[in-house]
A and B are shown apart, each in its own frame.
Chain A
Amino acid sequence: MSCNLQKCCYKILNEYFGDIVARVGDALFQKGLNPLKVICAHTKLPYSKVSEALAVLVQHNLVTWEEWRPQIPGYTLLHDRILLILRFPRYVYLVREQYGEEGEMVVDVLLKEGQATASSIIITSCIKLYEAATDESAVAKGSLEQKHIVVRNHLLKLIENEFIQRCPSPQDSSVPVPVLSIKEDQLYSLPSELLDLKALQQEIQLRRAGNTKPAVTHPDAQIYWRVNYDRFHIEFRDSEIRNCVVRRVDPLAGECLGAMLKVSYTRSDPWASSMNVVTASEIRDQLKDLKYLDQYLKILEDDSGGCVQKVGDAGGGQYRLNMANAYETMTHTLIDNIVQERFGSKAARIFRLIRKHRMMEQDQIGELSMIGKKEANLLSYRLLHDNFLRIHEQRKTLAPSPANKIIYLFHVDMNSVVRMILEWCYKGLYNLMVQREMRANYNRRLLEKRTRVDTIVENLKQSGGSEEQIQEVEEMVTPSERSLVEQVLSTQDKLFDAETGLDDTVFILQMYLYYQMQKE
């Protein structure tokens, strides 16, 4: 298993769940399916702590279990999900864009809890929305009374659209190793009888009044929900492909593609490599009135890197979306860009050449690339050294004779290049996190001082302290310290941003590999 991925996962768990959970996760990553006592032995952590850690991981959908020996569970780490933690902000943002503030809060709450009942989601969301709204006008507050209904509606919509799904539940929770199961039709259904609106309102009011543990019962106490990551990934995927089309053609072409996707989903499995056929007339209906639709369809057919394929003429034209091709084209572009930034544009030219021609002799490369022979050879060698290119030996004839020359053919093994780049991404993520942690530690005193001062100032302001007092406190931090803090914080931000951006690259590569594996 990938060492880079392992270290990356460790770092993520460490950051969000602490060292103990990270070590438990790491042990599971390394050793695979194992029971509690083995994990304890491996991590040398106390039983209680390991259990706690496992419980946390289970709660956050990062660990599953099965019966390892009779009545003894063995745990497995879902390591891919750990990486997804880096993607959470994207999920939240998407919901904000498509469903607004309330929807955003629902998903935010759910991501933070891992699993939760619908009631608790609604209650927590409402309370947080109230807290956020205290900064705003009283008019807004008026509508807060019915907030729980609004939130409930958003939750229902999110469930209906499959962004949130029901968790499987234990059939019999009295056994040591419960078996979780769920019926297909329950996955995305939240029957109204499961929610007691009055109870919700009651609890919300109690909590707002300061009662931290109100004694209110809810009918859905055993029904838990979680975020359906893959549903978000469909959105990201579609959005990415649309962006490519917009870049290449224009925004309306993106609209057109969006319509094609929408129609395709009514009759296809969204994760199929190739969707089912849609007709131009259906697309036209979807778009209401797009001028030049036929032209756009033609252009998409020609210029979408194989994503839009025309398969017939009935109904004004029959089209099929091929996601595998889309990601193949995108990934080729991605890798080309990487070569360009790493080795220069001439190297990128050579790389594209070889990729297109599949196998090329050294001489050909220099000739067709219009780069001097020597430079071409040197660049080819560098690409070879960094494993972007491979060499295939071929004997000129089959007869083994001294005159028999061996030709060396360069070629690109895309799948292995992609895997390599993915490893680099994991390593990059790890390195970024290490740097961030290091710098935070290095400047901890300073940052804490600043936080303390800010807190005191805040308190003073709220309790009506005098200007003098406030200024006195603020001066505890010198100007040079202040600017240093700014610098440190801005560096942290840069590192955070890089992390988020790097995950975008990871997403494309993962999609590519997913579709490649589907082919096999």
Chain B
Amino acid sequence: MSDLLNGQAPAGPEADAGDDVLIRADNIVKYFPVKGNGLVRRTVANVQAVDGVSLTVKRGQTLGLVGETGCGKSTLARCIAGLIPVTSGKVYFEGKDITNLPRRTMQPFRREIQMIFQDPYGSLNPRRRVGAIIGDPFAVHKTATGSERKKAVQELMERVGLNPEHYNRFPAEFSGGQRQRIGVARALALRPKLIICDEPVSALDVSIQAQVLNLLSDLQSEFGLSYLFIAHDLEVVRHVSDAVTVMYLGRVAESGPGNQVYDHSRHPYSTALLSAAPAADPDAAAERQRVLLTGDVPSPIHPPSGCRFHPRCPKAQDLCGTTEPALENKAGDPSTHLTACHFPVEAGEDLARVGRREQS
């Protein structure tokens, strides 16, 4: 089903060579088995967390990955980071296949791919001093020791806006925003090429969130970093991203350049998601026609047939329930803008009205 769906030629690793593609995930599938209660604990079903997702992150750019709880965005990130094995599919880093590598073979790539986590409280070991936490990458990769490491750590702390004198403190002695800076410093230590940010500012207050976002953007231009930026806050993703991929229930609904997806969304789900995002602007909020989706996100154990969005889609027709739409370029869109929908939203179409008619 995959190659057809992606709408992209199933290019081999050589396609990335000399290209500006840093990392490419190709048709990633990740199922988590659901075990039965019996003695043998057979696999009775699969949580289809990620089901055939492809994406690329270009050198020095940011790919935003948006979607709601359970859409598989965090699972996908962990697959790409090599933290959990993929069920099928390939991950290429600078053209090299790094899919499901054993730990030791993966080690050199770990230096290139780092992660920043969502929870500034959970992602730092409460029992270790900040200096040791930020120095961890040096220790693991044996790149600096003793006073050299301490110096490197203090430079990092300074770079991310922390007081280097706080080297000996424990994470609990820092506020949420500062802890997230510690996480950023740790991710930065080995000068990686790609940082996967998993909801890096979701747990922070607005004013602090802006500080961290600015820091990330400064670091990007300073070190030429690429980001895979996962968030549920659409405005945050728009602010940081060059390209955006919208996921729904383990699949890509729509992907393309940021402005294209935000201003000319073609997938009804993207449209609904964008219309639902709260805007800190009362007049805009009053004018906006919300596309209110009905029902809940279905279970990823038994996803709907055909297009996974069809039971909640205001535009759904019979075809949607039977045939899975391919992720492809729709007429009139730039070639990089891909949509997986049989009946994409047309310019000027008021989906909210369609939705209301359906409901009544």
Q: Do A and B bind each other?
A: no
Chain A positions within 8 Å of B, measured between CB atoms, are: none
